[in-house]
Amino acid sequence: MNTHFTLNEHDFELLFRGHFHGLCHFATGYVKDFDIAREIVQDAFAGLWEKRAIIDPSRSVQSYLSTTVRNKCLNYLRDHKKFSYNLLALEGLGPETEYVQNDRLAEVELEQRISAAIGELPEKCREIFLLSRQEKLKYQQIADTLGISVKTVETQMSKALQHLRLRLADYLSIMIILITLP
């Protein structure tokens, strides 16, 4: 399985359209100026595009973008000294915001769906899948541990992955983005 992901123009456009407006409101909460917020969010997306080939695929793209926007907002405030950090704290504009919380809720829901789909696998198939994915064992190690052939491990992994693809088809594009981008 390829752990490196290159964001293509189509996916980037969908990501931009889906998150730009929310991130602008998120940034406005910090900088109190929609035009400046827009510039900050555009800059965050430009940075994402420039770094698309080297971004850590284990991080959520929403978390990456919201963290980038937040940091850019704080840098802007520091550089322009419009607000003090005490004022930001009083206004409840710390690191936890609605946008980041919504991202976490979506991740929790997705994790629950994945856990449910894994739970539906036959016992031996689930055991092999979890040894591979959670314990990070190689197929030969799984075969040795369970006293079965490598071919059986390959067959069971194929069945598990096929089941997960079918069961989570509605989430596939979201999972690709969440799994492969920060």
Query: What distance lies between CA 63 and its chain's CA centroid?
Result: 7
Residue 126, domain member (yes or no): yes
Q: Which domain holds residue 37?
A: 9-180
**Cα 167 from Cα 21, distance rounded (Å):** 31
What is the mean pLDDT, run by run of 10 residues, along the chain of 182 residues?
Answer: 57 84 88 91 88 69 82 82 52 48 61 84 92 89 93 93 80 52 45
Q: What is the pLDDT of residue 127?
A: 93
The DSSP-derived string for 108-166 is HHHHHHHHHHHHTS-HHHHHHHHHHHTS---HHHHHHHHT--HHHHHHHHHHHHHHHHH
Q: What is the pLDDT of residue 140?
A: 93
Residue 38, domain member (yes or no): yes
Rounded (10°) CA dihedral 106, 107, 111, 112 = -30
SS3 12: helix
Residue 4, domain member (yes or no): no
Residue 3, domain member (yes or no): no
Residue 118, domain member (yes or no): yes
Q: What is the pLDDT of residue 90?
A: 47
**Cα 56 from Cα 47, distance rounded (Å):** 14
Residue 30, domain member (yes or no): yes
Whichever domain contains 69, its CATH number is 1.10.10.10
Residue 1, domain member (yes or no): no
Specify the number of domains making up the chain. 1
Residue 107, domain member (yes or no): yes
